[in-house]
């Protein structure tokens, strides 16, 4: 079979202004960069993270991609889609025991040809342990390994390049954070006049301060760049956790602005920005750019909310 070239040229995506009466009262301008529109399947920040990794895997002659994630992982979904599109075999190491019924995400991955391998949560937490790595290498290599969430140096550099293409007339750039790779890229690619604000979607995400610092300056766990921060108050109970309040916000946001969010990442980010604006967190006259990082397949895990958005 002739291998397809990696042509991940994303769609041009708009910046959409978000108008609310209370923004005007506080002299705040909020806009959203619609990276949910850059690709139907390899979407949002996953497109940015995977692009360089797929190119390197092809250059190095790999036919197999091995990666990691949970049952509702945007990264697993996007990697499976990329494998099907560009003729890679894909293997997903999935956190937790095999469920009786696969999630919509894993169903898609399976249909796209991904081989799913479930491991217990303890082993998954220690996935970088030498003995566990040896077992994976013995079973699945040769394979090009992409870390959980797709966050490695290639991905971060790709996100940094993306940051350089963003409009310059903003004071604050914000995005949701899982592994922190996208935020690290935004920090690296932005000049120091921009403030970069990450909204972690994990409970107990203080560890991300060190992770992101290490992404920015490999080998260092100290924050040597002072133009960024995280606000850890908007996880709503943890990864893939939601609430009636959050989902009501997502529905109202859609009916007002015509933009769909999901409750895992982007819904939490926009809820946080609205709440922080109300609390005078931002300086008067601030111009804020929120990055819509895609992941709309996540709505499949919230069928009632998805119906409310139809």
Q: Which residues pair with 66 in a beta bridge?
A: 91, 145
Residue 273: the pLDDT is 98
Give the number of other Cβ atoms within 10 Å of residue 251's Cβ.
Answer: 16
Query: Does the pLDDT value for residue 1 go beyond 50?
Result: no
CATH number of the domain encompassing residue 135 = 3.40.50.1100
Query: Which of 108, 133, 150 delimits the end of a domain?
Result: 150
pLDDT band at residue 11 using 50, 70 and 90 as cut-offs: low
Q: Which residues pair with 92 in a beta bridge?
A: 67, 116
Taking alpha carbons only, the member of 153, 140, 151, 5 closest to residue 79 is: 151
Distance CA 143, CA 66 (A): 6
Distance CA 90, CA 146 (A): 11
Note the pLDDT tens digit of each residue in 48-61. 999 999 999 999 99
Tokens of 69: 């994630």
Query: Does the pLDDT value for residue 10 go beyond 60?
Result: no
Tokens of 151: 């966050």
pLDDT band at residue 132 using 50, 70 and 90 as cut-offs: confident
Give residues with Cβ within 8 angstroms of 89, minimum separation 6.
Answer: 63, 64, 65, 83, 113, 115
pLDDT band at residue 2 using 50, 70 and 90 as cut-offs: very low
Q: To the nearest whole percent, how much of the chain has pLDDT over 90?
A: 81
Query: Does the pLDDT value for residue 223 go beyond 90?
Result: no
| Domain count for the chain | 2
Expressed as residue numbers, the domain containing 95 is 45-150
Q: Is the peptide bond preceding residue 142 cis, with omega within 30 degrees of 0?
A: yes
Q: Label residue 117 left, alpha or beta by phi (over 0 means left) and psi (-120 to 50 means alpha).
A: beta
Query: Does the pLDDT value for residue 3 go beyond 50?
Result: no
Distance CA 266, CA 246 (A): 11
Tokens of 35: 């990276």
Q: Which residues pair with 18 in a beta bridge?
A: 30
Do 183 and 74 share a structural domain? no
Distance CA 102, CA 241 (A): 18
Query: Which of 132, 150, 168 delimits the end of a domain?
Result: 150
Gyration radius of the chain's alpha carbons = 19
Note the pLDDT tens digit of each residue in 230-275. 999 999 999 989 999 999 999 999 999 999 999 999 999 999 999 9
144 touches 57 (CB < 8 A): yes
Note the pLDDT tens digit of each residue in 13-40. 999 999 999 998 889 999 999 999 999 8
Question: Do the domain assignments include residue 260?
Answer: yes
Query: Which of 84, 117, 150 delimits the end of a domain?
Result: 150
Q: Is 178 helix (H, G, I), strand (E, B) or coil?
A: coil
Distance CA 70, CA 118 (A): 9
Residue 141: the pLDDT is 80
Note the pLDDT tens digit of each residue in 113-127. 999 999 988 888 888
Mean pLDDT of 68-91: 95
The 8-class DSSP code of residue 245 comes to H
Query: Does the pLDDT value for residue 7 go beyond 60?
Result: no
Do 198 and 115 share a structural domain? no
Question: Do the domain assignments include residue 1?
Answer: no
- Sign of the alpha-carbon dihedral angle for 206, 173, 257, 9: negative
Do 137 and 217 share a structural domain? no
Do 234 and 203 share a structural domain? yes
CA atoms within 13 A on the CB side of 305: 26
């Amino acid at each position: 079979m002739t291998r397809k070239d990696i042509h991940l040229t994303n769609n041009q995506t708009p910046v959409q202004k978000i108008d609310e009466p209370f923004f005007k009262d506080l002299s705040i301008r909020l806009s959203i960069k619609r990276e949910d529109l850059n690709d139907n399947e390899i979407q949002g920040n996953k497109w940015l993270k995977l692009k360089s990794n797929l190119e390197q895997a092809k250059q190095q002659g790999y036919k197999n991609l091995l990666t990691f994630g949970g049952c509702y992982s945007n990264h697993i979904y996007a990697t499976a889609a990329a494998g099907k599109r560009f003729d890679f075999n894909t293997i997903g190491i999935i956190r937790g025991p095999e469920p009786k019924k696969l999630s919509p995400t894993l169903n898609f991955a399976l249909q796209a040809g991904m081989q799913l391998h479930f491991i217990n949560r303890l082993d998954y937490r220690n996935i970088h342990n030498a003995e566990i790595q040896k077992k994976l290498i013995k079973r699945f290599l040769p394979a090009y390994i992409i870390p959980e969430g797709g966050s490695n140096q290639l991905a971060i550099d790709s996100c940094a390049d993306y940051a350089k293409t963003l409009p310059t007339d903003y004071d604050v750039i914000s995005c949701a954070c899982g592994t922190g790779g996208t935020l690290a890229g935004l920090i690296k690619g932005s000049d120091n006049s921009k403030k970069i604000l990450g909204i972690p979607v994990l409970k107990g995400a203080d560890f991300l301060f060190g992770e992101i610092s290490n992404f920015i300056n490999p080998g260092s766990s100290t924050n040597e760049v002072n133009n960024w921060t995280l606000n850890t108050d908007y996880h709503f109970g943890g990864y893939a956790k939601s609430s009636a309040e959050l989902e009501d916000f997502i529905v109202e946001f859609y009916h007002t602005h015509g933009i769909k969010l999901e409750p895992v990442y982007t819904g939490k980010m926009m809820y946080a920005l609205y709440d922080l604006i109300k609390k005078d967190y931002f300086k008067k006259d601030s111009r804020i750019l929120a990055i819509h990082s895609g992941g709309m397949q996540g709505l499949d895990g919230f069928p009632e909310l998805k119906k409310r958005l139809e």
